Structure 1
Amino acid sequence: MDVAIVDIYSDSEADRMTGLAASRIAFGSYLRGLRTRSGKKPLAAGLEIDKSRQTVVRMENGYPTNASTNDIERLLEFYGASAQDREEALRLWGEVRSEEKIAQQQGDSRGYWQPYADQVAAHLPRYLRLEAAAHRVVSYQHVLVHGLLQTPDYRRAMARIDDPDLSIVDTERRVELAVRRQKRLNDTDFRLELLMSESVLRHQPGGPAVMAGQLRWLADAGRRDNISIRLIPFAAGSHKGLAIQPFTLVQFPALSSNVVDAPVVYLESGSAGVYHSKPDVVEEYREATDRIRAVALSERDTADIIVRIAKEYEA
């Protein structure tokens, strides 16, 4: 794959932004758990600290806000947090403040996707923040190749489908964003598991030549230790994947023994994005994942089919 893209952020900057996102998500998840157990609503919490409901929701979702340490202490008191919960919450808050200070000292702490915000759906930056902080992503796709594994030519074809009048400059900006996003795959602590319908291999964005290159790239990527690609063949017959839309389960590393892992399920539908973090909903998608895995081919058999279809496109 010939990619002539110049990165606009260094590896150290990407690592710094990932750490900051992870800290905010861990703190927000912990704080949301305390609020939920207390029975308080976001609106009441916001009024308690003279902030809006949206500020509380943003903080719990891992977004930056103008909340102060004093605000956090007031919320903890409002939630009736135990001494242990209070200590843990303030420790996590301290990590957020520390990461923010480092980011400010070392330069732009925005996510790598911010310069391309005008080229993506409004909901996508939230997903990219979650993906950057995750240590494991499990995705089921039955239409398109997952964005983390799209080649530049495949991404160009998708950009033209999305907007036939898109300029060459903006098309290449979308490609740049895709390449920046894919640097996450170079992190050996990050794992991607892709469960993919055979139909993904049969759709041809850009035509046979583009798909041949895309499939060759998939076969190569599947050899990495931190990437698993498994195909659900047409011959699988009836299975759960036929009755569910594409989804991605995003999982985060535990920053301490006291912080409960809070996975997020992401569903993309056109220009909209839906996020689920309630345990019962997440569990439904875990079960769906297990059922789809049960009919998926092995990684080796998947690679053989991918290469065979690539040869068909090259013929």
Structure 2
Amino acid sequence: MTGSPTVRRRRLATALRRLREQTGMTADQAAKEIGISKSALSRIENAQVSVLPPVARGLLELYGVEGEEVDALVQVARDARKRGWWQAYDDVLPEWFEVYVGLEAEASEIRVFQPQLVPGLLQTPDYARAIVRAEHPDAPTEEVNRRVELRLRRQESETSPKLWAVLDESVLHRPVGGSGTFKAQLRHLLDAAEQPGTTVQILTFGAGEYGSMGSAFIVLAFPEPADPGIVYLENRAGSLYLEGQQVREYSRVFEHLVANAASARESRDLIQKAIDRL
């Protein structure tokens, strides 16, 4: 399908929360008026669950929304309940990462800083498999293959987002998967860096210290003004999604990383030199 149900759910949640606040109603009051619990409304407004179209219509009418605007937002509610392609990987896709994949699927721009590894959107199958095996050493081969398949499927975005990756130079020196796999990965990274819409910059050792040192992050931007940007942070136990002022803060950090990193052309030369050393 075109359009991510995760993004639609988030858009509707933002609209419903804003409309309720404009009326001056508390969440408890609004929930009682339409016959749902306060906790259910909270989950709806925080985009944790999809809202049934009749419930969405009831809330909109309660908030004084009329005519075409009601129909448009109810349609968003319907779209938000459709299945995304990634839900076919529920067996290997944790809930906290499912949200990210749904957001990534409709992003128009992805800015990623990675201090240790080639980002997932630029990984080769063998490089990805080596990482998955390191993260899940006891997983059976079938599960490993499913995880790799999911990672590669993410690279086939219908939206063709602009991708800007800043990588610490250490990424070019960590032979993930052995020299053969690593060399093929670096060649793939170099090819990607030469494609329109993809920028790769290397933050060299000579740059010294920098903001967010040792901490990867991703900033997502979306084509619709109704879908504000988001920052994604991940750790082994789960993930964190940041919005508003924190998106602006991480965007400033990314701009500083870009300014301190080697230029795109210089970075391609650095990647080629790393390939030549192998």
TM interval, short-chain normalised:
0.7 to 0.9
Question: 52, 59, 66: which is aligned to 1:75?
Answer: 59
Query: CA–CA distance in 1 between the matches of 2:252 and 2:101?
Result: 24
SS in 2 for 1:123: helix
Q: Percent identity?
A: 32
Deviation at 1:61, TM superposition (A): 5.1
Please provide the CA RMSD for this pair: 2.7
Cα distance, 1:160 vs structure 2: 1.1
Q: CA deviation at 1:65?
A: 2.8
Structure 2 distance, partners of 1:266, 1:43, is 30
162, 167, 172: which one aligns with 2:145: 172
Q: In structure 2, give the amino acid aligned to 1:227.
A: T
**DSSP 3-state at the match of 1:164:** coil
Corresponding residue for residue 208 of structure 1 = 179
Which residue in 2 is equivalent to 1:25?
10
**CA distance in 1: counterparts of 2:20 and 2:175, whole angstroms:** 48
- 2:34 paired residue among 23, 42, 49: 49
1:174 Cα deviation from its structure 2 partner? 1.3
Q: Distance in 2 between matches of 1:205 and 1:40?
A: 55
Using the TM superposition, give the Cα deviation of residue 75 of structure 1 relative to its aligned residue in structure 2, in angstroms: 2.4
Residue 161 of structure 1 aligns to a residue whose secondary structure is helix
Match of 1:245 among 210, 215, 232: 215
After superposition, the Cα gap between the structure-2 partners of 1:267 and 1:74, relative to the gap in structure 1 and judged at 3 Å, is same
> What code does the residue aligned with 1:92 have?
L
TM-superposition CA deviations, 1:227-278 (whole Å, max 9, x none): 1111111111122132x62111111111xxxx5441111100113100112x
The CA distance in 1 between the partners of 2:13 and 2:170, in whole Å, is 38
In structure 2, the residue matched to 1:274 is: 240
2:272 aligned partner: 307
- Taking the aligned partners of 2:174 and 2:29, their CA distance within structure 1 comes to 50
Q: Does 1:92 align with 2:73?
A: yes
Is 1:124 paired with 2:97? yes
Among 254, 262, 268, the alignment partner of 1:289 is: 254
| Distance (Å, rounded) in 2 between the aligned partners of 1:203 and 1:223 | 22
Query: TM-score, normalised on structure 1?
Result: 0.78
Which of 174, 199, 204 lines up with 1:228 in the alignment? 199
* Structure 1 counterpart of 2:219, one-letter code: L
Unaligned runs of 5+ in 2: none
Does 1:151 find its partner at 2:132?
A: no
| CA displacement 1:4-58 (0-9 Å, x = unmatched) | xxxxxxxxxxxx1535444333333322333455565555544443234454345
Number of residues of Structure 1 aligned to a counterpart in Structure 2: 278
Q: Measure, in 2, the Cα distance between the counterparts of 1:252 and 1:54.
A: 29
